[in-house]
Amino acid sequence: MGHIRLGTLPQSKKWRDVVGLLETDASIDLLAAAASKASETDLARAPEDPGFQFVSSLLVKLPFLARAPGFEVALDDLGVGRDALSSVTRLLSGLESAIDRQSFETGHSSDVGDLAKAALLESLSVQMRDQLPTLFEPTPQEVRKALGRFSSGDNFALLARDFFARLTYRSLDYYLSRELANHTGEDRRFSSDAQRVAFQQALAQHTFEVSRIVESYAGGWYGKTIWQKQSLDQDSIGQFTRYAFRKMRAELARRQDSA
């Protein structure tokens, strides 16, 4: 399939609806739902994008593989490199290189793949560092153990929620940020850059609250699909990500209706 390049929304009626809301005092609920509706075609196609598929496979597979024998070999096979376990920073760098290399080798570079890469690296950085010692540099064994903790249903649910919250926020902000500058200044919705930044922070918090809907089912899916069936194929992962996107969009719309 072709590369998924975002950015066609400013000409659509749904996007013009978003712009119209920005010209009012519409709530975060309304704006987030409207932006989600305007971008739903691109996001619905995301699970079919090769770049996104590779990132989502890392999200699902890495915790499971970290608990299994031969993890260093698996890291080599993924293109991350076994020396990536020397630190969280090295692990994230190895993952970023592997994702970029996959995009280059397959010729599939896409905006949605780049957004997913950023969301994954941010999620792993935050979630793993919360579990590691802060006074001393962690050992490779501690880095692997921290990653492996996400292989439990409850912990994977937290990681998946964080990933989809960050990805959804980045997707909405990808569109909104280009328009927000047009609504910043005297007698506009945002009188200053500080107000605009505060709005973007509120939007990020909103998407995190919405992502609870993903957490509520991700753990059960992981236990049943990954541990019981040991289905690590892309079809199974694709079903998971498609459902997660649908749940996020539905919850954004529900919050709009109740606003």
Per the rule left: phi > 0, alpha: psi between -120 and 50, beta: everything else, 184 is beta
Compute the Cα dihedral for 139, 76, 52, 235 and give only its sign. Answer: negative
Cα→Cα distances 241→32, 153, 217, Å: 20, 16, 12
Q: Does residue 2 carry a pLDDT above 70? A: no
Sequence-distant (6+) residues with CB within 8 A of 38 are 9, 12, 14, 15, 17, 18, 175
Residue 190 sits at φ, ψ, to 5 deg, of -110, 115
Q: Taking all residues of the chain, what is their mean pLDDT, rounded to a whole number?
A: 88
pLDDT in tens, 186-221: 888 898 999 999 999 999 999 999 999 999 899 999
pLDDT in tens, 146-186: 999 999 999 999 999 999 999 999 988 887 887 888 889 88
Per the rule left: phi > 0, alpha: psi between -120 and 50, beta: everything else, 116 is alpha
Q: How many residues does the chain have?
A: 259
Q: What is d(CA 108, CA 102) in angstroms, rounded to the nearest whole number?
A: 8
Percent of the chain whose pLDDT exceeds 90 = 52
Q: Which two tokens stand for residue 242?
A: 């498609």
Is pTM beyond 0.95? Reply is no
Q: What pLDDT sits at residue 259? A: 57
Q: What pLDDT sits at residue 258? A: 67
Q: For 227-257, b where at least 16 C-beta lie within 10 A, e where not — what string?
A: eeeeeeeeeebbebbeebbebbbebbbebbe
pLDDT in tens, 220-259: 999 999 888 877 889 999 999 999 999 998 888 887 776 5
Tokens 């989502």, located at residue: 56
Q: What pLDDT sits at residue 23? A: 87
